[in-house]
């Protein structure tokens, strides 16, 4: 059975992962603040939109399928990027607290920040896996109660975080604190798909492009204002810098904004080469979003060093300049494309042939 793909979901993932890469390179400015207000909730939401419990005959079947899809590449990427990080640090004679601890965090997974120093973006994968495991059981309650329970889990996580502070946020393995906060986004995305369906969503936007375009523009104003006023949030390092009453609605606002933009892109029918190429690239980035998520941190680190050396500036200067960051961003995405095209895809082909034998 061939899995049906919906262009707007690939475009949404593509735009989302490009925003992630950009925000990890340019660490200051309004674009960084806006992206960090909703970028990771977006991926939990989109993952919820494609979850279908009836595809799996049992929990064991679901667990095995998701482990192969998420945990296997997570393990491979973590070990590979840890080797790259360790060799790179050793050759540069950098001061390192521990070479072994980052590798152990592959199995402990206590968030990004000071834990996944070899590849901080990897925190998302075990967190998504745990979120899906929890939701597999919660969704049995029905649409309404599933959402109620998921928001309740997020509220509990925020309350415990406020009471215990860092002792709570950074002691839970597999990013359980963030998984509880991710549940409402996953649940709302899933219920939206179950109740409305992808086809109705795309048809609605396709038949009413201008109203949705105006709505998308209008959503930009509160999204930018709230991001600049309340500051950024980071689920990976549990640095929310605002209450759940701000974080949740602002994240849903950003998700709605990007989802509408993706739907509008998906309905574009044009022979213009530039627009068509951009849409195709967004789709490709969405399809390969997991690989880009796992690759971009080490690659952007190297690219920022190269840009700094070429321009005779420090890496900190690169990360604070729009122009320098743009150069690093372009190089990073070229590097991601090269690694995915000539290494990841070829390894996948070899593995597929071996399995067939």
151-189 tens-digit pLDDT? 999 999 888 887 776 666 666 788 898 999 999 999 999
Q: Which two tokens stand for residue 65?
A: 């399928």
**What span, in angstroms and rounded, lies between the C-alpha atoms of 262 and 202?**
10
Task: Tell me if 180 sits within 8 A of 156, measured CB to CB.
Answer: yes
pLDDT of 143: 94
Q: Which pLDDT band holds residue 232 (cuts at 50, 70, 90)?
A: confident
Residue 234's φ and ψ, nearest 5 degrees, are -135, 110
Q: Which pLDDT band holds residue 1 (cuts at 50, 70, 90)?
A: very low
**What span, in angstroms and rounded, lies between the C-alpha atoms of 266 and 288?**
17
Q: Using CA of residue 241, residue 246, residue 248, residue 250, what is the dihedral sign?
A: negative
Q: How many C-beta neighbours within 10 Å does residue 285 have?
A: 23
Q: Which residues contact 15 (CB under 8 A, 6 or more apart)?
A: 258, 261, 262, 265, 282, 285, 286
Rounded-to-10 torsion of CA 87, 88, 94, 100: -40
For the chain, the first-to-last Cα distance in angstroms comes to 21
Tell me the sheet residues that pair with 234.
239
Q: Of 224, 219, 250, whose CA–CA distance to 42 is shortest? A: 250
Q: How many C-beta neighbours within 10 Å does residue 42 have?
A: 26
pLDDT digits (tens, 9 = 90+) for 61-120: 999 999 999 999 999 999 999 999 999 989 988 888 889 988 988 998 887 766 788 999
**What span, in angstroms and rounded, lies between the C-alpha atoms of 47 and 31?**
24
What letter would DSSP give residue 3? P
């Amino acid at each position: 059975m061939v899995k049906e793909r919906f262009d707007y979901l690939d475009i949404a993932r593509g735009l989302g992962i490009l925003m992630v890469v950009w925000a990890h390179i340019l660490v200051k400015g309004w674009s960084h603040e806006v992206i960090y207000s909703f970028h990771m909730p977006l991926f939990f939401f989109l993952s919820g939109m494609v979850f279908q419990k009836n595809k799996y005959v049992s929990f064991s079947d679901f667990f095995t399928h998701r482990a192969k899809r998420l945990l296997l590449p997570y393990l491979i990427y973590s070990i590979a990027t840890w080797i790259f990080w360790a060799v790179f640090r050793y050759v540069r004679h950098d001061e390192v607290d521990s070479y072994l601890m980052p590798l152990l965090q592959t199995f402990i997974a206590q968030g990004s920040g000071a834990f996944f120093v070899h590849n901080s973006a990897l925190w998302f994968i075990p967190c998504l896996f745990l979120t899906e495991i929890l939701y597999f059981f919660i969704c049995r309650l029905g649409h309404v109660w599933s959402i109620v329970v998921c928001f309740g889990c997020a509220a509990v996580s925020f309350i415990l975080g406020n009471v215990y502070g860092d002792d709570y946020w950074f002691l839970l393995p597999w990013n359980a604190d963030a998984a509880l906060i991710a549940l409402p986004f996953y649940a709302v995305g899933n219920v939206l798909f179950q109740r409305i369906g992808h086809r109705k969503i795309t048809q609605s936007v396709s038949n009413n492009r201008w109203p949705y375009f105006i709505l998308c523009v209008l959503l930009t104003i509160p999204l930018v204002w709230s991001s600049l006023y309340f500051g950024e949030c980071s689920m990976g390092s549990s640095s929310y810098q605002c209450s759940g009453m701000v974080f949740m609605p602002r994240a849903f606002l950003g998700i709605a904004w990007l989802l509408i933009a993706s739907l509008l892109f998906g309905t574009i029918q044009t022979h213009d080469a530039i627009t068509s190429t951009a849409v195709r690239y967004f789709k490709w980035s969405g399809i390969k979003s997991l690989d880009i998520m796992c690759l971009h941190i080490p690659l952007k680190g190297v690219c920022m060093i190269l840009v700094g050396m070429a321009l005779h500036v420090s890496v900190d200067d690169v990360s604070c300049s729009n122009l320098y960051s743009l150069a690093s961003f372009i190089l990073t995405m070229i590097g991601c494309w090269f690694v995915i095209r000539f290494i990841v895809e070829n390894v996948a082909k070899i593995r597929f042939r071996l399995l067939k034998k």
